Amino acid sequence: MSAAEPTVAQTSTEAPALRLTDVSKSFGVVNALTKVSLEIRPREVVGLIGENGAGKSSLLKILSGNQTADSGTMELRGRPVTFSSISQAMSNGVAMVYQEQSLLPNVSVAENILLGNERGAVRDGFYRWKQMHRTAQRHLDEVKSGVSPSDITDTLPFAQRQMVEVAKALATGDGSPYDPVILLDEPTSVLESGDIETLFSVIRRVKEHASIVFVSHRLEEVLEICDRVYVMRDGEVVAEVDPAEADVDQLFRLMVGRDLTSGYFREDLSTEPTPDVRLAIESLTGPGFSDVSLGINRGEIVSILGVQDSGRENLGRVLFGALPAAHGSVRIDGERVGLRSTRDAVARGIGYLPSERKIDGAIMGMSVADNMTLAHPDVVSTLGVMRSRRVREVADEWIRRLAIKTSGPAAEMVNLSGGNQQKVVLAKWMLAPDLRVLILDTPTRGLDVGAKSEVYAILHGLAAKGVSIILLADSLEEGIYVSHRVITMADGKVTGEFTSRPGNRPSRTSLIERML
């Protein structure tokens, strides 16, 4: 192994909490997992990374009892096991914290934490509320949550619900002499930086009496929080890595099978914007923000960074006509425009990619072709009549241009990976005859590094053609390295502006100071 390669972590002599040996899983002719072997040791955080489709989800489903393997063995604390259901896995102390939360919204925190694991908190079919609240409070204290066991779950912010999920996973170990195994599936994907640090503190504390599997597309986080990392590609484990001796570029190469010579932010594709102001915002005020003034040049990428409730999300929605502005003005290419609806925005050449692509950005039950052309029917119609052949031709062209992995234009969106879904949503705006401004709300959230790199390449390509881009970045690094300029917001106000060029990038500290 060369010096540039990460080394394999040293093997511990302590018996593993969970071990898989030659586990395989197929769906028809598709091999989801092929002879996967790994182990999770007591009191450690094991990272699991790979591109979308690498097999991570299938592996988690087998570990959590959601699916069974076709072949291979699983040992829990040295004992052969096969979980035929999620409840069976939980009863053995293996619990999963899902990326899309599994809590029941209209019941209390205590009921959620102990759901299916009530034990002494139920007598003769009735809850013993005092006992339930005491038990739930103990687990909430373990994760340092200030939430009350009696709180109704859907009244809590997302970050607090995430902590309740972790407390629920810890409850699976109740009554067992063994420490639990907790599976964290993208636990930070929609958390702000402060909430991520809180979660990491919880993970470090919890691992003192638990084993944790941490799945994330954010490689910096994996290197920070994990003791060992397994890398998956095409349904196989291709490497076991010591985070202390690896970096993001090395993990990327192991995941995708090629070097990341230009950095996955694709700085090599960045071009200089023109001096012409394309979008001019003056004293704009709307829900959650006030007195925002900002100019964006043609071909310029401007990132806006801010914590939750900073106002940046609503600023993007107002500029797309999805929320009303109280006062202020918006000009495009010098012309003042009224954005009373999303239809007005589209007519003015403004596109918008929402943070929840599966809910607001696409229609999962419709085809790739229909999702691409829905916002711009004039592109595929004649005299107001939609031409099916033209729809297919346009979709085929953009599938080819963006290298979208799909069986064809007729494929349903729901069957595409997250990265390919995002490409379809981007194509919807790229085929617009006069796209001038594109607003993107965390466009790479939940995408693997390979898909992120492809999205960044698309954004740089749009900017090179003169499109002005507002990027509500998913991370500080994304905001710093993808943009020409970075704007910070806090409490609904613009608090800072930073030039961001190679050799002159703002520091994380300087940005965080203006965001808080």
Stretch 381-394: mean pLDDT: 81
Confidence label for 258 from pLDDT (cuts 50, 70 and 90): low
Residue 169 pLDDT level (bands cut at 50, 70, 90): confident
pLDDT at site 99 = 67
Is it the case that residue 30 has pLDDT exceeding 80?
no
How confident is the model at residue 173, as a pLDDT?
Answer: 62
Q: What is the pLDDT of residues 261-272, one digit of tens each?
A: 556 788 889 999
Mean pLDDT over 39-48 rounds to 95
Q: Report the DSSP pairing between strands 122-123 and 126-127.
A: antiparallel
pLDDT score, position 505: 92
Please determine, for residue 11, whether its predicted confidence score (pLDDT) is greater than 70. Answer: no
Could you say which DSSP state residue 7 is in? P
pLDDT at residue 2, as a whole number: 39
List beta partners, residue 40: 18
Q: Are 426 and 353 in contact (CB under 8 A)?
A: yes
- Residue 343, judged by CB atoms within 10 A of its CB (0-12, 13-18, 19+), counts as exposed
Using the predicted structure, report yes or no on whether residue 273 has a pLDDT greater than 90. yes
Local confidence band at 10 (pLDDT 50, 70, 90 cut-offs): very low
Dist. CA 409–CA 420, nearest whole Å: 13
Confidence bin at 120 (pLDDT 50/70/90): low
Distant-in-sequence, close-in-space partners of 123: CB < 8 Å, separation ≥ 6: none
- Summarised one tens digit per residue, pLDDT across range 211-248 is 999 998 888 899 999 999 999 988 999 999 999 999 88
For residue 498, the model assigns a pLDDT of 96
Residue type for 211, please? S
Q: Which residues contact 480 (CB under 8 A, 6 or more apart)?
A: 303, 486, 500, 505, 506, 508, 511
181 three-class SS: strand
Mean pLDDT of the chain: 87
pLDDT band at 63 (very low <50, low <70, confident <90, very high): very high
What percentage of the chain reaches a pLDDT higher than 90?
Answer: 45
Instruction: Name residues whose C-beta falls within 8 Å of residue 134's C-beta, 6 or more positions apart in sequence.
Output: none
pLDDT at 93: 87
Residues 284-308: b if buried by 16+ CB within 10 A, e if exposed: bbbbbbbebebebbbbbbbbbbbbe
Task: Evaluate the CA torsion angle 249, 254, 258, 264 in order and state its sign.
Answer: negative
pLDDT of amino acid 7: 44
| Model pLDDT for residues 143-160, shown as the tens digit of each residue | 888 899 999 988 888 778
Q: Is the pLDDT of residue 3 over 60?
A: no
Structure tokens at 460: 């740089």
Q: Give phi and psi for 95, each to the nearest 5.
A: -135, 150
Least confident of 66-75, 340-349, 355-364, 394-403: 355-364
Give the mean pLDDT of 28-53.
89
At residue 194, the pLDDT reads 75
Tokens of 344: 């007005």
Going along the chain from its start, the domains and CATH numbers come out as: 30-102+166-256 (3.40.50.300), 267-349+434-515 (3.40.50.300), 364-425 (no CATH)
For residue 260, give both structure tokens: 């990341």
420-452 per-position pLDDT tens digit: 888 898 888 888 888 999 999 988 877 777 778
Rounded to an integer, the average pLDDT of 280-291 is 96
pTM of the model: 0.69
What number is the average pLDDT over the span 309-336?
Answer: 95
Cα 163 from Cα 186, distance rounded (Å): 13
How many Å apart are CA 492 and CA 285, to the nearest integer? 9
> pLDDT tens, 441-497?
988 877 777 778 888 999 999 999 999 999 999 888 899 999 999 999 999 999 999
Average pLDDT, integer, range 323-350: 94
Q: How far is residue 51's CA from residue 448's CA, in Å, rounded to a whole number? A: 5
- pLDDT-derived band of residue 175, with 50, 70 and 90 as boundaries? low
pLDDT above 70 covers what percent of the chain?
92
The three-point CA angle 402-405-406 to 5° equals: 115
